[in-house]
Chain A
Amino acid sequence: GAVVSQHPSRVICKSGTSVKIECRSLDFQATTMFWYRQFPKQSLMLMATSNEGSKATYEQGVEKDKFLINHASLTLSTLTVTSAHPEDSSFYICSASQPFRTQYFGPGTRLLVL
């Protein structure tokens, strides 16, 4: 299957700082990328959908000014958690897709906000 990478794999930051997570599709051009969040013992929750070159579409309850998404190229999307707080600690997972094709997931980024 296709390969999607995320960087960093884990990050620890202080409360109030911003953290950027990168998602790359390594062997295909992803017209659409998705960002999910997963809390312990829970399922994945979709945060936003981003199409290359356009603004992301956020799910209800997800603050777009707090979770900034940029999808500037067909192989890279970034999620920036601004002014992170302990409640933002979670497992963030991206996925990449082309129309009518299988969606492939990255390995996830574990964020811990102290």
Chain B
Amino acid sequence: DAKTTQPNSMESNEEEPVHLPCNHSTISGTDYIHWYRQLPSQGPEYVIHGLTSNVNNRMASLAIAEDRKSSTLILHRATLRDAAVYYCILRDEGETSGSRLTFGEGTQLTVNP
């Protein structure tokens, strides 16, 4: 599995935008970039995913570099409920069966009131 690199932790203030970076220099052509987040004592929650183009949904935006070797998850206005560990994961969509997710250490986001 291609690996991702994320900062261990980041801090933000409430109602400010947050940019969470992820490096994935060994990404392959069939790897989608997935973001999940995990709140304390809960299972991971799907946030967003993309392949090449930037993506937006109600939770966040995903900006993907042109060479696909890095991406950034953007939370437009952080709230206290966004405090979580954010995982950037590459998933090979070339497999026909449900393909595995390999979790790294993720980024612990702290949101200050």
Contact assessment for A99 and B105 in the assembled complex, using a CB-CB cutoff below 8 Å? no
Min Cβ gap B95→A in Å is 8
Q: A31-B98, A43-B103, A43-B106 are in contact. Are A100 and B93 (CB under 8 A)?
A: yes
A68–B46 Cα distance when bound, in Å, is 27
Q: A31-B97, A32-B97, A108-B41 are in contact. Are A102 and B46 (CB under 8 A)?
A: yes
Contact assessment for B103 and A103 in the assembled complex, using a CB-CB cutoff below 8 Å? no
Contact assessment for B49 and A44 in the assembled complex, using a CB-CB cutoff below 8 Å? no
Q: Size of chain A's interface in residues, with CB distance under 8 A?
A: 30
Query: Taking the complex as formed, is A67 at the interface, i.e. its CB lies under 8 A from any CB of chain B?
Result: no
**Residues of A participating in the B interface, judged by any CB pair closer than 8 Å:** 1, 4, 6, 30-32, 34, 36, 43-46, 49, 51, 91, 93, 95, 97-108, 110
**Residues of B participating in the A interface, judged by any CB pair closer than 8 Å:** 34, 36, 38, 41-46, 49, 87, 91, 93, 96-106
